[in-house]
Structure 1
Amino acid sequence: MSKSDFPPEEFADRLARLRQAMSAAALDWLLVFHPVSIHWLTGSDAKSYQAFQCLIVPVAPAPTVMFTRRSEEAEFHDDALVGTLATWGGPDPEDPLAAFERLVGRLGLHEGRVGMEVPAYYLHPHHYLKIKALLGRALVGEPSQLVHDLKLRKSPREIAFIRTAAAIADRTVETLAGALRPGRSELEVAAEIFHTMLAAGGGQPATPLNLVSGPRAAFSHGAPTERRLCLGDTGNAEYCVPYRRYSVTIGRQFSIGPPSPRLRALHDVVRRAGDAAIAAIRPGVAATVPHEAARAIIAEAGLDAARVHLTGYGVAPAFPPATAEPVQLFAGSPYRLDTGMVLSVCPPVFITAERLGVRLVDNVLVTDTGAERLCTAARDLIVV
């Protein structure tokens, strides 16, 4: 993605909405660290999240300031919408926090009320502590979801990108089904999925592909290995498919040869649980409602203890290492669903003692009347 993927008016609207939220929170400045937040506000696709970076947003109608390492200067200049670009580093090592302190002094952040994102992956604890000490009383809050909550409802152009990602995901499921056969390694199957994804115009996934088989079938997030598929294996594949950073997730179960009655029964439970969750999705309902609908199906089958993680989550856009947005289909979720949200629905059942797991992952768009499934790939058990 870059600034050219959306009209300038859409970026201006996003910034205006953020400034309204900052004003409501009585903030003069917001320090933005999450690459998804920076991407949403500026269009940046840079790998600068690997090192210290910060987008400084004033509540006043003044230019934003992007602070990043010098090696990303050209990319931010050409592909991102930032008011002012400040860099650190270069041919010789430089402490980014020393340069950041000078920038904070020039902007006068000490004289205002500052909020700071504290993302899970992209702010080193030592940097976090130094920034807290640097700002002192001026740091009045850590509204880490302020930007993320604003982007949960997707614009028409964002939805168009997500539909393209879903169409590419459908093609990868066809590839998965065609690549499965005895003697092929998990890595060989994964290679064909990646080839289809990239050749069709998708980008690099934000998360590793999960593909397991045989005795590894109970690994809920196992990476593909050199293990070769054998007659009698079951397994599953689950992965992220992006288009211009806007991602969907897809997951399907397979059997090499006739599936066992146990596998068919588990697949039926998981499929009905997913159907129940999707049927419960509509604007205004609590995010816990579709979760409880899926959970009831799984519990009725005596498998409640085999639910290894949440029923679903918001997706798009994404940077490594995660795809999820803060809205989650899980017990205790504080969110309500709204038109324009995009959700991954994935109620899993994994049983360690049986070395068996079943996963079906689909994506839905919350519409005015319910949920629209975005991927059209069959949800049947893939039998080779």
Structure 2
Amino acid sequence: MTKDFFSNSEFERRHKMVRMAMEQSGIDLLLVISPAHIAYLIGTPAKGYQEFEMLFFPLERGPITILTRLSEVPMLLAESLADNVQGWGGREPEDPIAAVKKIMQDRRYVGMRVGLEVPAYYLHPHDYMKLVDLLGSSLKIDATNLIANIKLIKSPVELEYMRRAAEIADAAMSTCISSIAAGKTERDVSSDIHHTLLSAGSDIPSSPMNFLTGPRSAFAHGEPTDRVLNVGDFMHIQFGAHYKRYCCTIGRQLCLGEPSIRMREVYQVARAASDACIEVIRAGVPATVPHSAAKSVIAMAGMDQHRLHLTGYAVGAAFPPSWVEPMSMDSGSSDILKAGMVVAVEPPLFGVEGGLGVRIVDNVLVTENGCEILAKTTRDLISIL
């Protein structure tokens, strides 16, 4: 995601919304760690998130500074909106928090009311402890979700990119269906899918593919292996296509040969739960409602013990290791669905007797009157005969 993916007016709109949220939160300086949030503000494809990286975003309009590992400086100078790009380490060992301290002093940020992002990834606990010590009483809020809450609602251009990602996902799922055959391995099929993803314009994935076949279908997460496919295998697959870093995920249930009666029964429970979830998604609905709808279907079927995963969550711009945005459809959510959000619907069943499991994944765009499923691949149980 570079600055060239969006217009200046798009970035200006984002800056304005973030500064409004900062003002409401009572902070003068936002220290941004999440790569998706850094890209949201200045546009950057650099892999600086593999090491310590921080964007200094002030409440008052002015120069924006980013601190990144030294090797990323040339790319950020060329392809981001950052006014000042400073590097640390690289040639010799350096403490990045010492570099943060110098920037705070040079930019006269010392003493400002600060909000700090503390994402689940990207910030080492040791660095976090040093930052807390450095900021002292200036640290006013945990700002981890300040930008995250804003970017849940996608702009028209962002939705355009996610629709393109959905088209790529459909093409890759078509490849998956045509590739599956007895005697091939999970790795063989995965290779074909990845070739289609990349050749169709997808970026590298932000999370590895889940592809589980035969008795492995009982498991929730697993990368493709050398397991050989056999007639009678029940299987589920999930992967994401990424267009200009905007992600659309898809998951489908397949059977190599004719599915057994029990396979169809288990699939139908997961499908009914997914349908019930999608049916109630619309703007203004609490995120707990779709979750409850799916949960009720599974519980009534006597399979709640196999509901081992989230019902759904928000998706958008994504960087490794995850495509999940911080909004979940579960019983503990306080979120309200809004038009322009994109959520992944995936109430699955895992650990069923006989090595069975089902995962159906669809990304849906929340609208005022309902929702729109982005991918067009059939959601039926796919039999490969």
Letter in 2 for 1:193: I
Deviations 1:73-119 (A, max 9, x none): 11101111112212212322222122221111222333111110000
Question: After superposition, where does 1:25-40 map in structure 2 within 5 Å?
Answer: 25-40=25-40
Give the whole-Å Cα distance in 2 for the aligned partners of 1:270 and 1:215: 18
Give the aligned partner of residue 302 of structure 1: 302
Give the aligned partner of residue 6 of structure 1: 6
Question: After superposition, where does 1:71-150 map in structure 2 within 5 Å?
Answer: 71-150=71-150
Give the aligned partner of residue 367 of structure 2: 367
Which blocks of at least 5 consecutive residues in structure 1 are unaligned? none
Give the aligned partner of residue 180 of structure 1: 180
The answer to whether structure 1 residue 314 and structure 2 residue 314 are counterparts is yes
Asked whether the equivalents of residues 255 and 383 of structure 1 are also in contact (C-alpha less than 8 Å), the reply is yes
Letter in 2 for 1:23: E
Give the aligned partner of residue 151 of structure 1: 151
Give the aligned partner of residue 248 of structure 2: 248
Secondary structure at the counterpart of residue 250 of structure 1: strand
Give the aligned partner of residue 278 of structure 2: 278
Superposition deviation, residue 47 in structure 1 = 0.4
The answer to whether structure 1 residue 206 and structure 2 residue 206 are counterparts is yes
Superposition deviation, residue 44 in structure 1 = 0.8
Give the whole-Å Cα distance in 2 for the aligned partners of 1:147 and 1:83: 20
Deviations 1:148-174 (A, max 9, x none): 001011000000000000011111111
Letter in 2 for 1:338: K
Deviations 1:194-251 (A, max 9, x none): 0111111111110000101112111111111001001111111111111110001100
4+ runs of 1 displaced by more than 3 Å? none
Asked whether the equivalents of residues 48 and 72 of structure 1 are also in contact (C-alpha less than 8 Å), the reply is yes
Give the aligned partner of residue 339 of structure 2: 339
Give the aligned partner of residue 66 of structure 2: 66
Superposition deviation, residue 368 in structure 1 = 1.9
Secondary structure at the counterpart of residue 111 of structure 1: coil
Which blocks of at least 5 consecutive residues in structure 2 are unaligned? none
Identical-residue share of aligned pairs (%): 45
Letter in 1 for 2:382: I
Letter in 1 for 2:227: R
Query: How well do the aligned residues superpose, as a CA RMSD in angstroms?
Result: 1.0
Letter in 1 for 2:67: F
Superposition deviation, residue 353 in structure 1 = 4.2
Give the whole-Å Cα distance in 1 for the aligned partners of 2:48 and 2:327: 26
Asked whether the equivalents of residues 109 and 138 of structure 1 are also in contact (C-alpha less than 8 Å), the reply is no
Give the whole-Å Cα distance in 2 for the aligned partners of 1:241 and 1:334: 29
Asked whether the equivalents of residues 258 and 383 of structure 1 are also in contact (C-alpha less than 8 Å), the reply is yes
Superposition deviation, residue 296 in structure 1 = 1.1
Letter in 2 for 1:283: A
Give the aligned partner of residue 16 of structure 2: 16
Give the whole-Å Cα distance in 2 for the aligned partners of 1:80 and 1:272: 45
Give the whole-Å Cα distance in 2 for the aligned partners of 1:129 and 1:93: 19
**TM (normalized to structure 2)?**
0.98
Asked whether the equivalents of residues 284 and 336 of structure 1 are also in contact (C-alpha less than 8 Å), the reply is yes
Secondary structure at the counterpart of residue 218 of structure 2: coil
Letter in 2 for 1:135: L
Asked whether the equivalents of residues 26 and 113 of structure 2 are also in contact (C-alpha less than 8 Å), the reply is yes
Give the whole-Å Cα distance in 2 for the aligned partners of 1:290 and 1:56: 38
Superposition deviation, residue 352 in structure 1 = 5.0
**TM (normalized to structure 1)?**
0.98
Secondary structure at the counterpart of residue 383 of structure 1: strand
Secondary structure at the counterpart of residue 187 of structure 1: helix
Superposition deviation, residue 382 in structure 1 = 1.5
Give the whole-Å Cα distance in 2 for the aligned partners of 1:130 and 1:353: 49
Letter in 1 for 2:216: R
Asked whether the equivalents of residues 219 and 351 of structure 2 are also in contact (C-alpha less than 8 Å), the reply is no
Secondary structure at the counterpart of residue 110 of structure 2: helix
Asked whether the equivalents of residues 186 and 224 of structure 2 are also in contact (C-alpha less than 8 Å), the reply is yes
Deviations 1:20-73 (A, max 9, x none): 110111101110000010011111111000111100111011211111111001
Secondary structure at the counterpart of residue 57 of structure 1: strand
Secondary structure at the counterpart of residue 357 of structure 2: strand
Give the whole-Å Cα distance in 1 for the aligned partners of 2:243 and 2:62: 32
Deviates more, 1:23-32 or 1:102-111: 102-111
